[in-house]
A and B are shown apart, each in its own frame.
Chain A
Amino acid sequence: MSDITLSVQGLRKVIGKRTIIKDLSFELKRGEVFGFLGPNGAGKTTTIRMLVGLIKPTSGSIHICGLDISKHFTKAMRHLGCIVENPELYPFLSGMDNLRHFAVMISGITQSRIDEVVQLVGMQDRMNDKVSTYSLGMRQRLGIAQALLGKPDVLILDEPTNGLDPSGIREMRSFIRFLAEEEGLTVLVSSHLLHEIQLMCDRVAIVSKGEIVRVDSVEALLSSEERLVWRLDPIDQGKAILRELTAIVNETEESVTTSYIEHEVGGWNRRLVEAGVTVLEMNRRLPALEDLFLELTGGESID
């Protein structure tokens, strides 16, 4: 089996006359955490629902571990675990009954496997209580237990930290990292919180208006956008000199921002000094994903 566990090619969805998803393509590798980032309404949820077979794509293909889900749905789903939106379970059944309910739908799951995943998410104490008595965090954990039952190769989590408290979020984050690094799962996480994605993912796809704007590793995305902030005196002369040398990204009364190009920065500095401009401050800045996002999506608000 190749390292590609989830492959999406030319995915489109048209509802009525509106094209909701326009030609998405991406591939996920074993052991990576892949972020799906975009504002609400960008098509994240629709895409995820197509990945798990809840919505039928208008065109394009989805392969899970090499199996086309439109042709071999049950075989493909055998390799997939997911939580779509909130972890909705049957509130009137106990946690154990919920897991049993889903376990019998996958062939070859035994009681010991159920106990194993319960152990994994640390829920062994509350399994015989009704789900209606659980907190959101516990439901989230039970939801993950349920998704892990069939030893999936691909785990799809839609907004996994939604509604969790800060410690819950931290816990979830490290758990997801653990699954990818130790268990070798491919995890696809969607979120509208940039900060989340930044901390959790190896690679990110930025989605806007039904299209993937960019797919890259988090570091690459960020480093390509490194900035240098200059404070100069006199500022106007300094600006003129820098404008000749490189593109100015941003300027205020007191400072000028240019892109950071490591092997040229020294030269620029020398030219400024030679022209008699005092460099008060040179500040290299790694931008937050947030800035990047705003830039890439043309100022579309995130929330």
Chain B
Amino acid sequence: MHSKKVRFLTIFASLACLLWLFGLGWTLKDYLIGKPSSASISPSTDEPVETTEETSVLKIVALGDSLTRGTGDIEGKGYVGYVSDRLKAAGKDISLINLGIKGLTAPLLADQMKEKEVGRQLGQADVIMMTIGGNDLFLGGQTLSDVSEASIRALEDRYLLNLQEILSGIRAVNTEATVYLLGLYNPFSEFENGEQLSEVVRGWNYKAAELLAKDAKTVYVPTYDLFQQNVNELLFTDHFHPNEKGYSRMAERVAALITGAEQGGQP
């Protein structure tokens, strides 16, 4: 009595209904009644871990704290973004991964580097950019009230120890890449004991630069001088992070170093 179309639709719907019931039943079986014992995971090896290197691409890995993340830049790019913009504008083919995490300190970065994937990323990198130390030194502004030599010394020692660990961590997976560590600036130079703090920052930077100097492919990039004058023009409203102007000054410097090294390194 019913048209073929309706009969077909009804039969078809019944089959679909059975299929979904089956799916539901399967879910119930898997998730509620006796979970399958094959809980052990054998990582699929259907593709090799070492992906084929795209040789023409310059691979950049950025590590570190909020500066690497770009906090304070209303465009959210940070110096990393501006570096990449400049390199792209210069006609370079780049790939970029930004592993910066807000509030990261040197010990935490050392931990992060132990992650397998981070290690792999670093291993493939041609260029590694880093900002680390700001949080170790300023402790979110706490240091401002206690600039006694003893406490600074303690912070400094711990930082250098961790920085050493980070650098050797990088070299353990990648002996070739150039590492750029951006130094600290003093955001508090116009504060009450800013002068005193500037001295601390210079000392800190000096020691870090000294440490880096042990490796030829590890470059210390100063930023102190960039923020020495008109610091408020270059800082974000939080008086700690750079704003887009500050970031782009930092980027200018790093980008120039990278392009210079690349051209020099070309046979």
Contacts and interface: CB of A to CB of B under 8 A. Distances in A.
A15 to B, nearest CB: 39
A303 B2 CA distance: 44
Interface string A87-123: 0000000000100100110000001000000000000
Contacts of B1: 100, 103-104, 111
A183 B36 CA distance: 72
A100 B1 CA distance: 7
Contacts of A111: 1
A111 B3 CA distance: 13
B221 to A, nearest CB: 75
B238 to A, nearest CB: 65
A190 to B, nearest CB: 32
Interface string B1-35: 11100000000000000000000000000000000
Nearest to A96: B3
A301 B85 CA distance: 90
Contacts of B3: 97
Nearest to B3: A97
A51 to B, nearest CB: 28
Nearest to A97: B3
A93 to B, nearest CB: 11
Contacts of B2: 100, 104
B8 to A, nearest CB: 16
B4 to A, nearest CB: 13
A9 to B, nearest CB: 38
B214 to A, nearest CB: 84
A111 B1 CA distance: 8
Nearest to B6: A97
A103 B1 CA distance: 9
A222 to B, nearest CB: 48
A104 B10 CA distance: 16
B9 to A, nearest CB: 14
A100 B5 CA distance: 15
A117 to B, nearest CB: 15
A197 B68 CA distance: 94
A105 to B, nearest CB: 11
Contacts of A100: 1-2
Nearest to A109: B1
A97 B1 CA distance: 9
A110 to B, nearest CB: 9
A104 B2 CA distance: 9
A14 B239 CA distance: 82
Interface string A243-274: 00000000000000000000000000000000
Contacts of A103: 1
Interface in A57-105: 97, 100, 103-104
A233 B3 CA distance: 80
Nearest to A114: B1
A97 B3 CA distance: 9
A301 B3 CA distance: 51
A103 B3 CA distance: 14
A283 B2 CA distance: 65
Contacts of A97: 3
A97 B2 CA distance: 8
B154 to A, nearest CB: 83
A104 B7 CA distance: 14
7 contacts: A97-B3, A100-B1, A100-B2, A103-B1, A104-B1, A104-B2, A111-B1
Closest 4 CB pairs of A and B: A104-B1, A100-B1, A103-B1, A100-B2
